[in-house]
Chain A
Amino acid sequence: MRRRLMHKATLGISLAVCLTGLVGWMTVGKPAAAPRTPAEIIQMGVEAGAGRDADKLDALRALAGNGNTLAQRTLGQALLVRNEPHGNREAIDWLQRAALGKDVEAATLLGRTLMQGVPGVARDDKRAFPVMLSAGRAGHGAAAYYLGVMLKNGYGTQVDALAAVRWFDFAAKQHSPYAPAAMFMLANAHRYGEGVKANEGNARILYLMSARMGYPAAIQTLAMAYQNGELGLERSEAAYQRELAEMNHVLKHPQLAL
């Protein structure tokens, strides 16, 4: 494990010299920080981000500068939590370095941030798409979901409803927090015949699966279907009220910041 990390560190540093804006954070000449477990690094990220702990942020910078890919990603995440223009720009650089170090999670976060835009970083779909594609091809569930969104709408690429459905389908089958969102999008595709032949039965099953995993829009779709007798469901006041109550609850903690 450590050998692999060291190899990545070397790779990361050699790649880093190609990147602009990183020199200030490099810890060249300083002794390497003590090895940390992944859980320790992620914990440092929580304290550096939501906890606004400057020391933890610096410690992460030291680890990241030494080529620790997880630290690079975690540092990027922590800076995005702080959400300051300068920090967001720094985050993009670190995520890019981690992505170059084959950190698929970092690539996905980079792609998402570029696709959405944050203070200090303008939305850039054209830059986001290839990043997301590489992460999706590496099998990342969230990346697959976003690829579906991008292909459905033509963000940074041509509209391709068929490819969008394929990515949503792939994302729905991954063990990922984005699976319920992907199921919902796939359900929509089946309901409205977008990139796939319309089939309400398939749509209903997918909405049910997504709803049972707590996805608010799917729960509401079912609520309205029970209310109005849609999707082949019998009208049921009790089921309608049950879904509404569930929707009311889950909306206080949506699974994704969509």
Chain B
Amino acid sequence: MQKIVRFTAGAAALGLLVACSHGDDEPQIQAGTKASMGVLETTDLHTNVLSYDYFKLAEDKSFGFERTLTLINAARKEFPNTLLIDNGDTIQGSALADYQALISPLACDQTLAMYKAMNAAGYDGGGIGNHEFNYGLPYLAQVTGNKFDVAGMPELSAQKNCAGPKFPQVLANIYSVKSKAPLFQPYKVFTKTITATTPDGKEVKVPVKVGIIGFTPPTILNWDKRWLDGKLYTVGIKEAAEKFVPEMRAAGADIVIAISHGGLDNSTYSPTMENGNYYLSQVPGIDAMLIGHSHQTFPDANSTLPQFNLPGVDKAKGTVNGVPTVMANFWGKHLGVIGFSLSYDGKKWVIDKSKTTVQARGIQNADKTFVAADTSVASLIDTEHKATINYVKTPIGSADFRMSSYFADIGDASAIQIVNQAQADYVANYIKTSLPQYAGLPVLSVSAPFKSGFGGGNDFTDVAAGNIAINNAADLYLYPNTLYAVKVSGGDIKNWLETAAKRFNQIDPAKTTEQALISNFPGYNFDMFTSKDISYEIDVTQPQGSRITNLKYKGAALSATQEFVVATNNYRASGGGSFPGLDGSKTIFASPDANRDVLIQYIKTVKSLTGAANGSDRSWRFAKVSVQGPVTFKSSAGKLPLAQAAGLNVSVLRDDDGSGKNLSVYAIDLSK
């Protein structure tokens, strides 16, 4: 299929776009000829080609294109004619996607695993989602088989012709700053030969001209600012449609399908709005909207989502201001199906709107089982799949110590310090290169033990000494947070630590009976420093809010007014856990990078971690106090030697706490 690498508005390009459909040998279509056509949508596949979770290294049947394909095959049996179209957010979002983009970058003559599967499935066209921009413009150009005339890339003549998908990709509202032309071809009009029935009942093969036009959220300029700033600009979805849809009709399109990566929003229209499809539906000449981005399902008569309960939106029939519209969830969990009844009026094809059907069909059956996978997909991408598994298992470094969170509540830093070191290193480097105004401020880092025994004795971080693989990094950093840096004062740090210290009950020194040390305050909120630069004590005999004592920075009492940069995550920085002053207003850097990826990169750089350098710096201790009775806590059974190795004054009170969850009751001596 011919690819237009750079669209230039005007008659010449228009002619080129539709040239293939204007032949003298076009068959005559008899007036009254009828046909039915199913327009099938996938969206937000995010390179979930197989039903497989690469971090768990296990099958997960609840998603995956290999199962969506089963629905596609079924729809193709149901409709004599189908169009298969993808809405975008296709090339990013799984370990397989990262592997092909970042770890073992795809060669120019190779096709992405996702596109290979889509080529084999016979897609007719695709849109471009916001996530397509996540790996930057050169990668996007390469894997889509395009050349981009944008700043920062070589001249067009110096760019290679790389392999891309076999189907046309369209995007009408993203422009190059350099060329002032759309980055992709904005639309495509092509001829589809369909099976139809003449008025006298004869089956005939006849042409229909189909036009597809694509849109993506203008907000990509914020989300991927690091790749796009100064290189691309956006045009409103409505304005782009008003410009190009008439051109498509003029080029003979019988059916115009908008592939718009976005949801619905009826707030006042702006050319920069993220979800502009409510207004797109009002542009004349659009026969159907395939939408996405929100990871939701439409139509859905039971939906309570605000975007599907707007005036003019029929969430049962699947129309938006009368335009048939479908959104097919995400990761291949659903297939969007719009059924058209077409008839030829002697001049053109006309859609009988009274017969249009719209459905989002799930891969989950009514009995909660899932449809079978189409096995052709797995064999097609077997090499890439195995390489990704191999990558996830590949050592990125090694450690001479066991990194565990069994005693993190009591002071063991073995699973925390490496996270803090990675975060602080990343932020310090970023400030040096990009935020010089903060170069004079010390950079610290906090992290918390995300796994601290809620689910029993096995619910702890535990990475054995030896090689560390990618999936171990997921154990060390459990959540897919992104890294944030906040600017705070010494007073803010004290408040931060006071809140974290709610992890402990108030201990009465005079009490002779057992007292449980750990409160209901969750372990994932027990932020701690693990650095020689900062030290503090937690006095658990004091009430909440007055427990942090001897707080020092570099050996001197921490000044309440001194300023620091602290590396943390988006959750904490934007108000998670309701820590005082941490609610977005102190963020100086919201990185698009995940804390876990920052950790992986750091381990790759350091290579050999040692307990001395990466697992034993305790910033905090309990303030010494003699308690008459035992102070107890629960942790995994049989782990006392780990506590002792970490220098903690811990003993076993009862081997079995009675919960049947592999937990022991330990005691800590706070007087030492």
Chain A CB within 8 A of B131 CB: yes
* Docked complex Cα distance between A242 and B62 (Å): 10
Complex interface residues of chain B between 310 and 345 (CB less than 8 A to chain A): 330-331
Q: Are A51 and B330 in contact (CB under 8 A)?
A: no
Chain A CB within 8 A of B578 CB: yes
Q: Contact string, A245-256, partner B, CB cutoff 8 A, digits 1/0? A: 111110111101
* Docked complex Cα distance between A244 and B269 (Å): 32
Q: Are B575 and A184 in contact (CB under 8 A)?
A: yes
Contacts of A244 in B (CB 8 A): 479-480
Contacts of B236 in A (CB 8 A): 39, 42-43
From the candidates B46, B272, B305, B576, name the one contacting A220 in the complex (CB within 8 A): B576
From the candidates A51, A191, A221, A224, name the one contacting B177 in the complex (CB within 8 A): A51
* Docked complex Cα distance between A4 and B528 (Å): 57
- Nearest neighbor of A48 in chain B, beta-carbon distance: B233
Q: Are A249 and B590 in contact (CB under 8 A)?
A: no
From the candidates A53, A235, A253, name the one contacting B219 in the complex (CB within 8 A): A253
Complex interface residues of chain B between 66 and 103 (CB less than 8 A to chain A): 92-93
Complex interface residues of chain A between 177 and 209 (CB less than 8 A to chain B): 181, 184-185, 188-189, 191-192, 194
* Docked complex Cα distance between A194 and B482 (Å): 27
Q: Are A52 and B177 in contact (CB under 8 A)?
A: yes
Q: Are B295 and A216 in contact (CB under 8 A)?
A: no
Q: How far is the CB of B153 from chain A (nearest CB, A)?
A: 16
Chain A CB within 8 A of B466 CB: no
Chain A CB within 8 A of B388 CB: no
Contacts of B578 in A (CB 8 A): 188-189, 191-192, 194
Q: Contact string, B214-241, partner A, CB cutoff 8 A, digits 1/0? A: 0001110111010011101111101100
Q: Are B575 and A217 in contact (CB under 8 A)?
A: yes
Q: Are B574 and A153 in contact (CB under 8 A)?
A: no
**Given known A-B contacts A39-B236, A116-B585, A258-B587, A249 and B46 have beta carbons under 8 A apart:** yes
Q: Contact string, B448-459, partner A, CB cutoff 8 A, digits 1/0? A: 000000110000
Q: Are A247 and B233 in contact (CB under 8 A)?
A: no
Contacts of B522 in A (CB 8 A): 224, 228, 230
Q: Are B228 and A235 in contact (CB under 8 A)?
A: no
Q: How far is the CB of A200 from chain B (nearest CB, A)?
A: 12
Select the residue from A38, A115, A253 with max chain B CB neighbours within 10 A. A253
Q: How far is the CB of A218 from chain B (nearest CB, A)?
A: 9
**Given known A-B contacts A119-B437, A228-B454, A43 and B239 have beta carbons under 8 A apart:** yes
Chain B CB within 8 A of A223 CB: yes
- Nearest neighbor of B229 in chain A, beta-carbon distance: A50
Q: How far is the CB of A80 from chain B (nearest CB, A)?
A: 12
Q: Contact string, B563-580, partner A, CB cutoff 8 A, digits 1/0? A: 000000011011110101
Chain B CB within 8 A of A227 CB: yes
Contacts of B594 in A (CB 8 A): 251
Select the residue from B175, B217, B330, B479 with max chain A CB neighbours within 10 A. B479
From the candidates B219, B223, B230, B570, name the one contacting A51 in the complex (CB within 8 A): B230
Q: Are B570 and A42 in contact (CB under 8 A)?
A: no
Select the residue from A153, A194, A230, A256 with max chain B CB neighbours within 10 A. A153
Number of interface residues of B (CB under 8 A): 61
From the candidates A212, A217, A253, name the one contacting B130 in the complex (CB within 8 A): A253
Q: How far is the CB of B639 from chain A (nearest CB, A)?
A: 21
* Docked complex Cα distance between A153 and B492 (Å): 11
From the candidates B131, B295, B574, name the one contacting A258 in the complex (CB within 8 A): B574
Chain A CB within 8 A of B414 CB: no
Contacts of B482 in A (CB 8 A): 251
Chain A CB within 8 A of B592 CB: yes
**Given known A-B contacts A153-B581, A220-B576, A247 and B479 have beta carbons under 8 A apart:** yes
Contacts of B230 in A (CB 8 A): 50-52
Q: Is the interface of A mostly helix, strand, loop or mixed?
A: helix
From the candidates B232, B437, B587, name the one contacting A50 in the complex (CB within 8 A): B232
Chain B CB within 8 A of A46 CB: yes
Contacts of B234 in A (CB 8 A): 46, 50
Contacts of A224 in B (CB 8 A): 522, 524
* Docked complex Cα distance between A197 and B170 (Å): 53
* Docked complex Cα distance between A223 and B522 (Å): 13
- Nearest neighbor of B435 in chain A, beta-carbon distance: A119
Chain A CB within 8 A of B490 CB: no
Select the residue from B218, B229, B574, B581 with max chain A CB neighbours within 10 A. B574
Chain B CB within 8 A of A229 CB: yes
Q: Are B583 and A249 in contact (CB under 8 A)?
A: no
Q: Are A185 and B271 in contact (CB under 8 A)?
A: no
Chain A CB within 8 A of B193 CB: no
Chain A CB within 8 A of B584 CB: yes
Q: How far is the CB of B220 from chain A (nearest CB, A)?
A: 8
* Docked complex Cα distance between A24 and B177 (Å): 27
Contacts of B587 in A (CB 8 A): 258
Q: Contact string, B35-76, partner A, CB cutoff 8 A, digits 1/0? A: 000000000001000000000000000000000000000000
Q: Are A149 and B93 in contact (CB under 8 A)?
A: no
Q: Contact string, A148-169, partner B, CB cutoff 8 A, digits 1/0? A: 0110110100000000000000
From the candidates A51, A155, A220, name the one contacting B479 in the complex (CB within 8 A): A220
Chain A CB within 8 A of B198 CB: no
Q: How far is the CB of A159 from chain B (nearest CB, A)?
A: 10
Select the residue from A188, A224, A254 with max chain B CB neighbours within 10 A. A224
Complex interface residues of chain A between 2 and 41 (CB less than 8 A to chain B): 38-39
Chain B CB within 8 A of A126 CB: no
Chain A CB within 8 A of B134 CB: yes
Contacts of B269 in A (CB 8 A): 39
Contacts of B131 in A (CB 8 A): 252-253
Q: Are B570 and A249 in contact (CB under 8 A)?
A: no
* Docked complex Cα distance between A153 and B218 (Å): 33
Chain A CB within 8 A of B376 CB: no
Q: Are A46 and B479 in contact (CB under 8 A)?
A: no
Contacts of B583 in A (CB 8 A): 149, 152-153, 185
Q: Are B239 and A39 in contact (CB under 8 A)?
A: yes
8 A–B pairs (Cβ distance < 8 Å), ordered by A: A39-B236, A39-B239, A42-B272, A43-B271, A184-B574, A224-B524, A253-B217, A258-B573
Report the 7 A-B pairs with minimum CB-CB distance, sorted nearest first.
Answer: A258-B584, A51-B233, A248-B480, A188-B578, A228-B454, A50-B221, A253-B223
Chain A residues packing against B (C-beta within 8 Å): 38-39, 42-43, 46-47, 50-53, 81, 115-116, 119, 149-150, 152-153, 155, 175, 181, 184-185, 188-189, 191-192, 194, 212-214, 216-217, 220-221, 223-224, 227-230, 235, 244-249, 251-254, 256-258
